[in-house]
Amino acid sequence: MEEFLIVDGYNIINNWPNLAELKDHNLEHARDKLLETLQNYAAYKNIKIILVFDAHLSESKMRSSYLENGVEVIYSKKGETADMVIEKIIDCMPPRSKVIVATSDWAEQRLVMGKGALRMPARELYYKVQSAEKNIKKTIEKTKKKSSSLLEAQLEEEVRKKLEAWRRKS
């Protein structure tokens, strides 16, 4: 079963402590950091993520979207909210797919559940992402340890002893 995570971008930025603080200094950096975080999460969990931002105050008459490292990013058009875009996306999802919407907007959560999607509050997504990042770091550390010991395991005992003696002389 295909799994989709639709993320209400500004809602998440405003509810994650690190991004809310970053947003106060530079909104673009906060958006970039969220995108980078979700790209790693998508790769780790092997899910499709759609990140939606409001652009209803924009003068653009067209919705814009692009794909970056496995995450689709969508900006709504003038007069359109992220919630409206999310609702349209849910309506177009393939049958039998698992659709989760990450937002802490209670009204939006109720609406998406009525359309058959699951809801995930911002805090829950934050904890899931934090857990995934810890697991990724552990995997990287294990890989580093394993790869560093591989060379040693391939050396003959005599060569290892000579290298160790040479190292001790230095």
118-140 pLDDT, tens per residue? 999 999 999 999 999 999 999 88
Is position 125 within any domain? yes
Is position 139 within any domain? no
86/127 Cα distance (integer angstroms): 22
41/114 Cα distance (integer angstroms): 27
* Number of independent structural domains in the chain: 1
pLDDT at 139: 86
Is position 35 within any domain? yes
Tell me the whole-structure pTM to 2 decimals.
0.82
Backbone angles phi, psi at 67, to 5 degrees: -110, 125
Is position 84 within any domain? yes
Is position 151 within any domain? no
Is position 166 within any domain? no
For 9, 51, 84, 86, 92, the CA distances from 113, given in Å and listed in that order, are 19, 18, 14, 12, 15
Q: In CATH, what number is assigned to the domain containing residue 124?
A: 3.40.50
Is position 28 within any domain? yes
Strand, helix or coil at 69?
A: coil
User: Can you give the residue range of the structural domain that contains 19?
Assistant: 3-131
Is position 119 within any domain? yes
